[in-house]
Amino acid sequence: MIKSIAIDDEAPALRQMGAYIEKTPFLELVGSFNSALEAITFLDDHMVDLIFVDIQMPDLSGMDFVKSLDPKPMIVFTTAYSEYAVEGFKVDAVDYLLKPIAYLDFLKSAGKAHKQYEAKMADNKVSHDKEHLFVKSEYRLIRINFSDIQYIEGMREYVRIHLLSDKPVMSLLSMKSLEEQLPGDRFMRVHRSFIVNLSEIKIVERSRIVFGDKYIPVAEQYKEQFQKYVDSNFLKK
C-alpha cells in the first residue's frame, strides 16, 4: 500500500481527494490537511510515499511546501490554474491534476505513482540471509554483517549505515525497503530517519538513544513500541 496524504485549503476539495484515495485499492490515506503547515508537522514524525497537494494555498503555497521537503515523496499537484503545470514538473512531480477532478483522471495519476513506487522498490531490493546483507555502494556490492551495524540514518533518497568499527556505508536505498529486509527482533525503526540495532543500545536518555556523541530521537509514533522493548528488558527488584 502506498501511504498517501492530501493537502487542500478548500474543504470540499480535500474531502473529495480523501475519498478518491480511500477508493483506490493500492493507496492508503494516512492524513488530510487544510494547510501545508499542518502537513509539515505531521511529516516530522511520519513517513509517506505520496502527497496530493493543492498549489494555491494561504501562508505556504503547495509549490514552496514541496521545495522544502527533504526527503521528498512522490508528488501530484492539484489546482484550478493550468499555468502552473510547467512549474510543477520542474520539481519532478509525478503528475498534475486540473480541478474539477474526475475520479478517472485521479486514477490515471495514481497509476503513474504506483508504477514509480514499484520500480523504486524493485531497484531498492536488498539481498540478505540470516546474518548479513549485501548493499550497493557506488559501483560495489558490500557485505554488511547485522552485528556490525550500530544504526541506520535516512538521508533524502540515500541511507547511511553506521558501523561499529568502520566508516559509514552510503547506499541508494529507501528506509522502508531496508527496514523490511532487516530482522525485526534485532532492529527497530524509532524515527522516520533512524533504525537502530537493539543489541547496541546502552543508554536511553529523555526519549533519545545515546550512541557516543550521537543522540537518536524516538519519535512519538514509535514510542509505545520502543517502550515495550525497554520494559521487557528492564531489570526490576
Domain match, 162 and 71 both? no
Question: Both 118 and 142 in a single domain?
Answer: no
Measured distance CA(33)–CA(179) in Å, rounded: 28
**How do 194-197 and 149-155 pair as beta strands?**
antiparallel
Supply the range of the domain harboring residue 61: 2-123
In a domain, 179, yes or no: yes
Chain mean pLDDT for the chain: 88
Are 117 and 7 in a shared domain? yes
Strand partners, 196: 151, 188
Same domain, 6 and 86: yes
The per-residue pLDDT for range 59-118, each reduced to its tens digit, is 888 989 998 887 788 999 998 877 665 565 567 889 999 999 999 999 999 999 999 988
Note whether 22 and 75 are same-domain residues.
Answer: yes
Segment among 134-148, 158-172, 202-216 with least mean pLDDT: 134-148
Q: How many domains does the chain have?
A: 2
Q: Is 237 a domain residue?
A: no
Q: How many CB atoms lie within 10 A of CB 140?
A: 9
CA dihedral 224, 229, 231, 237 (to 10 degrees): -170
* Predicted confidence (pLDDT) at residue 144 exceeds the cutoff of 90: yes
Same-domain status, 65 and 161: no
Determine the pLDDT at residue 70.
Answer: 74
Q: Is residue 60 part of a domain?
A: yes
11 & 81 share domain: yes
